[in-house]
Amino acid sequence: MSIATTLPTAARKRNDSAGTPFAGACWPAWKTSLPVDSRKRLPLRTTLKVLMAAAKRASSRQESVSENLSEAKVRQLYSSGDAAHDFDHVLRVTKLGIRIARAESANEGVVRAAALLHDLPISGSGRTDHHISAAGFTADYLRASGMDEPRIESVIHCIQAHRYRDRTVQPQTLEAKCLYDADKLDSIGAIGVARAFAHAGSYGGRLWNQPVAEAPPDHAQPDGPEYTPVHEYVYKLRRILATLYTPSAREIGEQRHRFMSRYFEQLDAEMTGQL
């Protein structure tokens, strides 16, 4: 049976008029992969092999675009930020993202591209809507790099859905979940504690002003010296583990969460003179 016999009547008519065994919409994308005399009906198995080979070549080209996103070139796109939101953060998220993607059998190229570009075009300031601006900047950058639209859309969704404080866009793909998890893992554990204090220092925040048990759980935004790392821990950091999507990220997160919880217990004890 030829492919033409499986098409709707209208599609077969378009086929026959074009002299090819493919529906009109498919023909332009694949005609260069077929024999010159395409008027001859190809056996179904042969046709499928041709299409699969062409698709594999196209996929390889797109993977190459993702892999060729040089860390050195991407670094130049970022402005300097505080130590909590610098390019080192981007590199840590990229490494974690690839690790999680491999464990979860996600598309590593999409996750890597999204991780490298997720905080563009700025670092450190204007972060309320940074996921939105990063998505727009990334779309233009990847189009200029030759990435195809479906893959760009995949990367963009990852970036749009990665922000903790804006949950209006939820990760819908495995790759988006990998990026969200990688970015959030960098908010907890030892590195999370370090980043919390670095961020507090960037706006003149105090080290500590009340214990965890007394900090308001709904103090959502850093707004000056009285918003300390303890407030960030109470409002955000201790809740991160419950929001992680992938099993591999939760396994990493459990270890980091335990360390972080012990740290803030120790901090409270030292600050109140108990230790």
* Domains of the chain, residue spans: 3-65, 68-173, 187-275
**Quick one: pLDDT at residue 150?**
96
Radius of gyration of the chain (CA): 25
Question: Each residue of 41-73: pLDDT tens digit?
Answer: 666 766 566 566 555 554 554 555 555 788 999
CATH classification of 187-275, choosing from 1.10.600.10, 3.30.930.10, 1.20.1250.20, 1.20.58.1910?
1.20.58.1910
**Quick one: pLDDT at residue 25?**
38
Q: How confident is the model at residue 20 (pLDDT cuts 50, 70, 90)?
A: very low
**Quick one: pLDDT at residue 56?**
56
Taking all residues of the chain, what is their mean pLDDT, rounded to a whole number?
A: 81
One DSSP character per residue, 50-99 reads HHHHHHHHHHHHHHHHHHT--HHHHHTTSPP--TTSSHHHHHHHHHHHHH
pTM of the model: 0.75
> Percentage of the chain with pLDDT > 90?
58
CATH of domain 68-173: 1.10.3210.10
pLDDT of 140 higher than 60: yes
Q: How confident is the model at residue 270 (pLDDT cuts 50, 70, 90)?
A: very high
CB contact set of 262 (below 8 Å; sequence gap of 6+): none
- Of 15-19, 77-81, 235-239, the range with the highest mean pLDDT is 235-239
pLDDT of 167 higher than 60: yes
